[in-house]
Each structure stands twice: as C-alpha cells, then as structure tokens.
Amino acid sequence: MHALEKQALALAGLFQGVLAVKRLAWEGQQDTESVTVLLNSVLVLDSPDVETIYGGLKGVSQGLNMLSQTVGNRASTTDREVIQYAYTIMLLEKKLSKNPAMLKEIGTRIEALKQQMAVYEYTVTAENVVAKMADIYFSTISKLQPKVMVKGEHLHLQNTQNVHLVRALLLAAMRSAILWRQLGGSRLGLLFKRKKLLQAVQSLQKRCL
C-alpha cells in the first residue's frame, strides 16, 4: 500500500466517524459493526500497518464511500454537515498536535482504559467503556477551539447514552485525523493532490469488494 492509499484509509476512518455522529444525532441509530471498528481504532496506539487499525479495508468501507463522494465533488447537500465536522476535526487536530501535555493525557487515559478492559473483560461497546472514551474527549479535545457543534434531533441529543457515543465517535475521528497527519497528510495536500487521492480511494474501494 503506497503513501497516498494509507492517508486515504486514515481519512476514511475520520469520515466514517463523523458520518456515524451525524446519523446518531439525527436518527438516534447506529451501525454497530461500523461503531465497533471505530471505537476499537482508538485503542490501537501501535500497529504495524494502517489496515490493522480498522480491522481491514472493509472496516471503513462507509468512510471510503463518503470520502470518494467528497473528493470527487459528488457530495449531496445533506453531506455538507459531515464534511464540516471532518474539517473541524482537522482544525482541532492541528491545535492538539501543538499541545503535548494534552496528547500525553489522552494517551495515558487510553492505556488505563485498555488495562481496565483487559482485567474486567469489557467489550469496546460496553456502556462504561463508551462513557470513559466520551469523558476523555470531553475533558480534553472539547476544550479546544473551534468546537464541533453537533446538530440533530433534540430527543436524541438529550439521551445520555447517545451523547456519550457521539463524544466517543469524535474521539475516534480525532484518532484517525492524527494518524492521517502522521502518514504525511495535510490540508494543502488535499487541495493539490485531489485527483490522485480520489484514485487512491477508488483503488481501496475496489479491494473492498
């Protein structure tokens, strides 16, 4: 897998995360398989390859589809919300990258969560695990500017479990944004390598079939 494909895969993780946030906020529903992949990616701090982080290419197939539509200028009006979330996460990632103390705190708390999960045999979708991921996001990343302003149905956004999952998914989206940057991704690159990025995304999509 070449460099641009690796970046595309990380971006797919980011887009899948914010797409899941939008669906949960508006519909109060989730794709359990997709959510599990995203939450698991938060816990994989060291991996020999990008695919492993998402459990293989199919793990982020929804994100690849959304990314393909966005890069190929085929995103619908209703997708603008997802794109705005993704853009805001990218801005926050740049702020976070300049805050080593916050990065260290996030890493330390994720490691502690992994140890607790191992001891008590919790699954990544267990309510208390999601709540802890949500708190990591809320007490660190959400303090940075600009804030991710999640829109949706009031009924769903008042549900505590939904709120926790939204924050946990935003943490997962940030994990993918950090990975994208580590792999050489940049917003300028998105602008000037759009065609090549689209080709990389389409190549990954074909391999998902």
User: Are the CB atoms for 32 and 57 separated by under 8 Å?
Assistant: no
- Biggest CA–CA distance in the chain, Å, is 48
pTM for this one? 0.97
pLDDT tens digit sequence for 107-154: 999 999 999 999 999 999 999 999 999 999 999 999 999 999 999 999
What whole-number distance in Å separates Cα of residue 92 and Cα of residue 65?
24
Domain borders along the chain are 3-208
Which whole number is the average pLDDT over 187-195?
A: 89
pLDDT tens digit sequence for 36-88: 999 999 999 888 899 999 999 999 999 999 999 999 988 888 899 999 999 99
Q: Determine the pLDDT at residue 127.
A: 97
For residue 20, pLDDT over 80 is answered with: yes
Q: Determine the pLDDT at residue 191.
A: 85
Q: For Cα atoms 10, 69, 20, give the angle at the middle one, nearest 5 degrees.
A: 60
Q: Where are the alpha helices (DSSP H) in the chain?
A: 3-27, 32-43, 50-53, 61-71, 80-97, 100-120, 127-139, 154-157, 160-182, 187-192, 194-208
Cis status, amide bond into 100, omega within 30 of 0: no
**Is 3-208 a domain of CATH 1.10.3890.10?**
yes
Q: Determine the pLDDT at residue 48.
A: 82
